[in-house]
């Protein structure tokens, strides 16, 4: 049995020891006497659940800063998609390792991903020691030949998803309603239900998407369109959901659909609205927080995201009491754990040991009136001293083993991809 003892950490306002046996929190109490345990001194630290990133495209770290300050559709069509077309599984692996490194350094131990070459992301998350819900991206553009290929790829995933630890699970990632046909969406939802996997789709991100949907589908708005296809259910996570009306919110609530909210990406890409948080909360639609990919954020720091979500909700509703710090924290921890079915998100005996130690001796936590306020409004990922996932220490004293090699490989791969793209198009380097 592996025993890890976190000593002298603050927990619920008191100094405690936390004993971790294998992957779970075994005991929390004052001055625990344990023999044969590895000890980590947590003096000056508070022990907290590690954070969840509810929507990202991990390997897009390779394109961080490659093309910014553009309109969403132009950005995708002229910059992102041409470069992504050249990615190999190994490139995705290298980019996803960089993402895992950044997330571990920011106290994140779970990410919900949607991307190409799923095996590269799964391998990276497995090796880096974090949890991931890996969703191969699905795009058929209404083309029957591509739709057939999609089905083959999904069936191949279902057959070959073994060989990973329980930290790595799989979902289906239909990109959006404008890139995936209704027939494929229906097939994916049915296959997901039959196999107990989640489905993860971008939805109602821009007003253009909503208008195109209304025009193409007899006046149905995106949520109504998905309901008409029969794809709504508790296994579905919709990413963005910025442009919703009251009826759509009611439909999401009725079907138990969860919403992943990416406030920074929405603001950076100027999607023309703010998630209607107050109405979603009132309807009891679970809302969880994601960074989106590193091209549209450009950081994977969930501390930043909590703050942005709180500020955007207040600004959007003209109500400073909307989305208080405690709710932002829950969205990135407890609530996300419930949505993704991970027995973590809280520092409690019996829970999975997915934990962080946050250094409260820093200026961000001084004078220290209110921990939740400091975490959400003042802190950032650099305040995390130690990150633990599944009982394993992934970072201690801000050191992650193998960091330099991960950074070098990412730099090499990213610059090679950009050079290939420039050579193919006869153009210069990054914009």
- Per DSSP, the residues of 138-198 read E--TT-HHHHHHHHHHHHHHHHH--SS-TTEEEEEEE--TTTS-HHHHHHHHHHHHHHT-E
Of 292 and 374, the one with the shorter C-beta distance to Zn ion is 292
Q: Closest distance between Zn ion and the C-beta of residue 60, in Å?
A: 9
Residue 175 dihedral angles phi and psi, to the nearest 5°: -60, -50
- Name the residue number minimizing CB distance to Zn ion: 292
Distance of alpha carbon 282 from alpha carbon 131, whole angstroms:
30
Stretch that binds Zn ion, among 12-20, 69-77, 170-178, 284-292 (CB under 5 A): 284-292
Q: What distance in Å separates the CA atoms of residue 58 and residue 64, rounded to the nearest whole number?
A: 11
Minimum CB distance to Zn ion smaller for 10 or for 243: 243
**Among the candidate windows 218-226, 251-259, 287-295, 378-386, which touches Zn ion by CB under 5 A?**
287-295
Give least dist CB 296 to Zn ion, A.
Answer: 7
292 or 354: whose CB is closer to Zn ion? 292
Position 209 contacts Zn ion (CB under 5 A): no
Helices (H) and strands (E) in the chain, counts: 16, 16
Q: Which stretch binds Zn ion (CB under 5 A): 94-102, 273-281, 291-299, 373-381?
A: 291-299
Alpha helices, DSSP H, located in 196-301: 207-216, 222-229, 246-255, 263-268, 277-282
Closest CA to 390 of 131, 194, 193, 38: 131
Q: Does 292 bind Zn ion (CB under 5 A)?
A: yes
Minimum CB–partner distance for residue 265 and Zn ion (Å): 7
- Tell the smallest beta-carbon distance from residue 292 to Zn ion (Å): 5
Sequence-distant (≥ 6) Cβ neighbours of residue 423 within 8 angstroms: none
Q: What is the nearest approach in angstroms of Zn ion to the Cβ of residue 171?
A: 13
The answer to whether 140 contacts Zn ion (rule: CB under 5 A) is no
CB 158 within 8 A of CB 123: no
Of 73-81, 125-133, 290-298, 324-332: span binding Zn ion (CB under 5 A): 290-298
Q: Closest distance between Zn ion and the C-beta of residue 252, in Å? A: 18
Number of residues that bind Zn ion (CB under 5 A): 1
Residue 297, helix vs strand vs coil: coil
Q: Which pairs count as long-range contacts for 22-26, CB under 8 Å and 24+ apart, including other chains?
A: 22/391, 23/352, 23/353, 23/390, 23/391, 24/350, 24/351, 24/352, 24/353, 24/391, 25/347, 25/348, 25/349, 25/350, 25/351, 25/352, 25/353, 25/355, 26/349
Question: Taking the complex as a whole, how short is the minimal distance between the CB of residue 326 and Zn ion, in angstroms?
Answer: 27
Do you find a cis peptide bond into 298, omega within 30 degrees of 0?
yes
Stretch that binds Zn ion, among 21-29, 37-45, 124-132, 286-294 (CB under 5 A): 286-294
Judged by CB, which is closer to Zn ion: 292, or 301? 292
- Selected range binding Zn ion among 132-140, 289-297, 348-356, 404-412, rule: CB under 5 A: 289-297
* Minimum gap (Å) between residue 83 Cβ and Zn ion: 16
Q: Which residues bind Zn ion (CB under 5 A)?
A: 292
């Amino acid at each position: 049995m592996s025993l890890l003892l976190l000593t002298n950490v603050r927990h619920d306002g008191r100094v405690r020891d936390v004993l971790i046996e294998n992957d779970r929190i075994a005991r929390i109490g004052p001055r625990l006497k344990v023999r044969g345990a590895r000890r980590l001194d947590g003096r000056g630290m508070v022990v907290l659940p590690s954070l969840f990133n509810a929507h990202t495209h991990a390997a897009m770290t390779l394109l961080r800063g490659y093309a910014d300050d553009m309109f969403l559709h132009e950005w995708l069509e002229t910059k992102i998609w041409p470069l992504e077309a050249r990615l190999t599984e190994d490139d995705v692996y290298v980019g996803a390792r960089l993402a895992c490194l950044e997330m571990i350094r920011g106290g994140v131990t779970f990410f919900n991903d949607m991307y190409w070459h799923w095996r590269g992301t799964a391998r990276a998350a497995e090796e880096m020691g974090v949890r991931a819900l890996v969703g191969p991206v699905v795009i058929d553009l209404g083309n029957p030949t591509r739709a057939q290929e999609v089905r083959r790829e999904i069936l191949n995933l279902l057959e070959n998803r073994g060989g990973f630890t329980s930290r790595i699970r799989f979902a289906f990632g239909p990109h959006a309603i404008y890139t995936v046909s209704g027939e494929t969406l229906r097939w994916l939802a049915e296959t997901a239900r039959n196999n107990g996997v989640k489905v993860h789709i971008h939805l109602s991100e821009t007003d253009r998407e909503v208008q195109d949907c209304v025009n193409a589908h007899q006046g149905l708005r995106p949520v109504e369109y998905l309901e008409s296809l029969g794809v709504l259910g508790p296994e579905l996570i919709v990413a963005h959901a910025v442009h919703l009306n009251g009826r759509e919110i009611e439909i999401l609530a009725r079907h138990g659909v969860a919403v992943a909210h990416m406030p920074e990406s929405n603001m950076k890409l100027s999607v023309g609205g703010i998630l209607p948080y107050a109405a979603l909360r009132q309807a009891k639609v679970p809302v969880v927080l994601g960074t989106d990919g590193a091209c549209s954020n450009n950081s994977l720091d969930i501390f930043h995201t909590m703050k942005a979500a709180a500020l955007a909700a207040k600004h959007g509703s003209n109500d400073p009491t909307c989305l208080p710090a405690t709710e932002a924290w829950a969205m990135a921890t407890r609530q996300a754990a419930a949505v993704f079915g991970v027995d973590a998100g809280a520092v409690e005996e019996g829970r999975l040991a997915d934990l962080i130690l946050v250094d409260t001796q820093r200026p961000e936590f001084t004078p220290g009136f209110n921990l939740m306020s400091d975490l959400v409004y003042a802190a950032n990922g650099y305040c995390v001293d130690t990150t633990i996932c599944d009982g394993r220490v992934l970072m201690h004293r801000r050191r992650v083993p193998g960091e330099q090699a991960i950074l070098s490989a990412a730099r090499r791969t990213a610059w090679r991809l950009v050079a290939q793209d420039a050579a193919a198009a006869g153009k210069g380097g990054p914009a």
